[in-house]
Chain A
């Protein structure tokens, strides 16, 4: 995470851009294919604040704080529109 002002907001969870090998490694045990993932828009401010530039088709890992489970990982696939 860089020092973008966006990440200072406690309501913005941590976003991580996964590379292809990681994607496979993370999605395989979940039994989820890339096209079955929830989406995130390319123009989403959180993607613009990432270190690397995200491209359509990339997978983002989101580290959310969960009321019921403490912490929770979610995955989203980047789409243009």
Chain B
């Protein structure tokens, strides 16, 4: 295989290839359209000639002497009876024909202009800075200028314009030009004129765009396949070449026999058609060539183009082994760093295990289990292949497994099925940040879906409406170690983007913890033990907060939660439910402030501000100070505890959660009426010209701003009115206030009023002339005419409101669609620009050329994942600790 040694490429020329080179490259001339003889042997000088490579085992290539699979094959050639236009260049041919004069063959520019363009192009070539694009730009200008002149400055004759009938027919005042004429015109152009036409005369000539020789691709590029019936089926390219050869042969015979011009021309055009479709079977303006079955033939361009083409599918797209993909479903009892893998997938995915004295007996057991299962209901990993120390792969079968079981010894490698505890990489596209691909530990499970903990949904941006995810089994010990240390989920709880947690309790976990710990919530011994049994707890049950309660001692929810806290934790912060408009004192009395002393929660509820991603203070503290494993453990336990608490209290929401009393509705309507009246007043002021413009604004702008703020205010007040009647006994409110899901704005829009709709940040103003809809008077600037929605979602919208609301909603959809594509491309460019930068051991950031990009990583050498929201040190906490005297 000496020929396979790679060679260094010094230079590549991209140019048109000419007939001389085609012949030089050719291993054989092809003359017969037949492929195989009756014995199934390739016919010499046929399309499957052995000179062009072999596709059958046993035969040898007549050019290089190599066997099948060693030989990439060699080109052949067909001599065309008559020249044929290369359809891919017909436009260039037209431009060149129009820029030159047929009798002199010169480009229709004065010598001065030719020299001028030549000099420009030559300068570009010499400077080495010229791309083909800029050279193309100059030559295009030259061609355009030449095409404009009506008479040739060299021979003085007039020029007739050549038109192109796509794809390959040239006409001169309606008269068809044969490819032969075209070719002879192109041949006439002197080398000295070629440079400004955009050709490099040292390498190429324009007449190469008219084919006289057709290269035949190597046989291995178009292998024939043998069907089960023993019938041979040829590749589409071979079919097309057969057509070309047949017509070529008939054309030659007819021409030589002196057949009528009409017949020769018909055959010539047919040859042109076959060659055009041989290159591209989707050429505009001609029918597609079809297989006998009616299927369009897949010719050269079809092989390369598009998503399924060679480039996007085979060269840019890569597939990997040891991977699996299926739908994901949630499982709150998994740890965040686990993934549930269906048995079906686990039996396909394998890990290579090198046998040593410690695992020998276990692996023998697995081999045995594979063939004599001890318990068919239980998943036990099997072994289907083993690799002997000499490198031979042996498949274990019913016949040979006992023999191989016995001879298994250290040094062998077995391919074991996946089992609990294996490290795998888990990924969801689009992989936009490093948290999109994390290492999980395998848990084999029944069913057919991957199971994940709900807390890892945000980093993957996954939900369970049919999302699928990919899983890759790590194969080597080094890779496994790397994945374990760098990629496990707990190592990614803290984000490098802003130095806080991105993985934390979500939705029901937050509701559950809030219900467990808010106010005076307490639980009897049965409930307490039931809730705590969901987490592994090694501490004793604390002394009950209410030992003398009726019906036995009761434990407060805060006590139950404190079991999860480290003993040295001291924190004080505001809960999610904190009322910003009341004093800290009032909030403290209302149980809106959280205080933790020595790992005991003494006041406040556990809600979004304690345990959620991004803002959970307790989670933040544990993940930063106690490390990744402690944080993982905390998240696992908190979520289980929350589920346990939810099972005791329950939580439900429905349309009646948006119920408000009749008089509250009246208040809302009153407030709206008042606001609308004020708007009308503003509008009439404006119409009378009495409105004073605000600084820096026109009168119209001032009017709009005033109205917007007025209507914004009324939405807020109606929300407030609704809010007074929606108390903490309402589960929708609990979810919104505790930060689990939804907001008070959502609720007030359901119960109170939806408010002003906007498109492009302004009140709705598009539609008909001077009005949005025909329901309103022209020039009406009032609230209702410009998209103010008085109704609530629950009461329902009237038709005009519904229309305005749809306009606002549509804008939101369009925005997200536009944003994703734009930010996706932005990210791609950014990644491509930065992908080879590295932080070196001396803290400098350098590229692959080792030049410095940053003298100190981030200018402060701080790893953001270890920082507190970007700061290296949590100064506030330090001061607090010191001033409190280490309490």
Which A residues fall within an 8 A CB radius of B? 30-32, 35-38, 66-69, 72-75
Other than the known A35-B851, A75-B855, what 18 A-B pairs have Cβ atoms closer than 8 Å?
A30-B842, A30-B855, A31-B842, A31-B844, A32-B844, A32-B852, A32-B855, A36-B846, A37-B851, A38-B851, A66-B859, A66-B860, A68-B858, A68-B860, A69-B856, A69-B860, A72-B855, A72-B859
Task: Label chain B's interface by main secondary structure.
Answer: loop
Residues of B within 8 Å of A30, CB to CB, are 842, 844, 855
Indicate if B850 sits at the interface (CB-CB under 8 A): yes
Q: How far is the CA of A74 from the CA of B862 in the complex (A)?
A: 17
Contact of B855 with A74 in the complex, beta carbons under 8 Å: yes
In the complex, how many residues of chain B place their beta carbon closer than 8 angstroms to a beta carbon of chain A?
A: 14
Residues 182-208 of B at the A interface (beta carbon under 8 Å): none
Residues of A within 8 Å of B858, CB to CB, are 68-69
Q: Which of the residues B842, B844, B850, B856 comes within 8 Å of A72, measured between beta carbons?
A: B856
Indicate if B870 sits at the interface (CB-CB under 8 A): yes
Residues of A within 8 Å of B862, CB to CB, are 68
Q: How far is the CA of A66 from the CA of B859 in the complex (A)?
A: 7
Residues of A within 8 Å of B844, CB to CB, are 30-32
CB distance from B855 to the nearest CB of A (A): 6
**Chain A residue, CB-CB nearest to B846:** A36
Instruction: Digitize B810-852: 1 where CB-to-A-CB distance is under 8 Å, 0 elsewhere.
Output: 0000000000000000000000000000000010101000111
**Chain B residue, CB-CB nearest to A69:** B860
Residues of B within 8 Å of A73, CB to CB, are 855
CB distance from B429 to the nearest CB of A (A): 32
What are 11 A-to-B residue pairs whose CB atoms are below 8 Å? A30-B844, A30-B855, A32-B852, A32-B855, A36-B852, A37-B851, A68-B859, A68-B860, A69-B859, A72-B859, A74-B855
CB distance from A72 to the nearest CB of B (A): 4
Indicate if B853 sits at the interface (CB-CB under 8 A): yes
Q: How far is the CA of A30 from the CA of B846 in the complex (A)?
A: 12
CB distance from B865 to the nearest CB of A (A): 14
Residues of A within 8 Å of B850, CB to CB, are 36
Residues of A within 8 Å of B846, CB to CB, are 36
Q: How far is the CA of A74 from the CA of B853 in the complex (A)?
A: 10
Q: How far is the CA of A68 from the CA of B855 in the complex (A)?
A: 14
Residues of A within 8 Å of B842, CB to CB, are 30-31
Q: Which of the residues A38, A66, A67 comes within 8 Å of B852, measured between beta carbons?
A: A38
Instruction: Digitize B745-756: 1 where CB-to-A-CB distance is under 8 Å, 0 elsewhere.
Output: 000000000000
Q: How far is the CA of A38 from the CA of B855 in the complex (A)?
A: 10
CB distance from A77 to the nearest CB of B (A): 10
CB distance from A35 to the nearest CB of B (A): 8
Q: How far is the CA of A54 from the CA of B856 in the complex (A)?
A: 25
Q: How far is the CA of A70 from the CA of B858 in the complex (A)?
A: 11
Residues of B within 8 Å of A68, CB to CB, are 858-860, 862, 870
Q: How far is the CA of A69 from the CA of B862 in the complex (A)?
A: 9
Contact of A36 with B859 in the complex, beta carbons under 8 Å: no
* A-B residue pairs, 5 tightest by C-beta: A69-B860, A66-B859, A69-B859, A72-B859, A68-B860
Residues of B within 8 Å of A36, CB to CB, are 846, 850-852
Q: How far is the CA of A48 from the CA of B851 in the complex (A)?
A: 25
Most A Cβ at <10 Å: residue of B844, B846, B852, B856: B852
Residues of B within 8 Å of A75, CB to CB, are 855
Query: Taking A30-B844, A31-B842, A32-B844 as contacts, is the C-beta distance between A37 and B852 under 8 angstroms?
Result: yes
**Chain B residue, CB-CB nearest to A71:** B859
Q: How far is the CA of A36 from the CA of B856 in the complex (A)?
A: 14
**Chain B residue, CB-CB nearest to A74:** B855
Residues of B within 8 Å of A37, CB to CB, are 851-852
CB distance from A13 to the nearest CB of B (A): 13
**Chain B residue, CB-CB nearest to A30:** B855
Q: How far is the CA of A63 from the CA of B853 in the complex (A)?
A: 16
Q: How far is the CA of A74 from the CA of B388 in the complex (A)?
A: 58
Residues 856-877 of B at the A interface (beta carbon under 8 Å): 856, 858-860, 862, 870
Residues of A within 8 Å of B860, CB to CB, are 66, 68-69
Residues of B within 8 Å of A31, CB to CB, are 842, 844
**Chain B residue, CB-CB nearest to A33:** B850
Q: How far is the CA of A73 from the CA of B859 in the complex (A)?
A: 9
Q: How far is the CA of A38 from the CA of B844 in the complex (A)?
A: 12
Q: How far is the CA of A22 from the CA of B819 in the complex (A)?
A: 49
Residues of B within 8 Å of A69, CB to CB, are 856, 858-860
Q: How far is the CA of A72 from the CA of B843 in the complex (A)?
A: 14
**Chain A residue, CB-CB nearest to B849:** A36
CB distance from B499 to the nearest CB of A (A): 11
**Chain B residue, CB-CB nearest to A65:** B859
Q: How far is the CA of A37 from the CA of B847 in the complex (A)?
A: 11
Q: How far is the CA of A35 from the CA of B862 in the complex (A)?
A: 27
CB distance from A78 to the nearest CB of B (A): 15
Q: How far is the CA of A9 from the CA of B842 in the complex (A)?
A: 33
Residues of A within 8 Å of B870, CB to CB, are 68
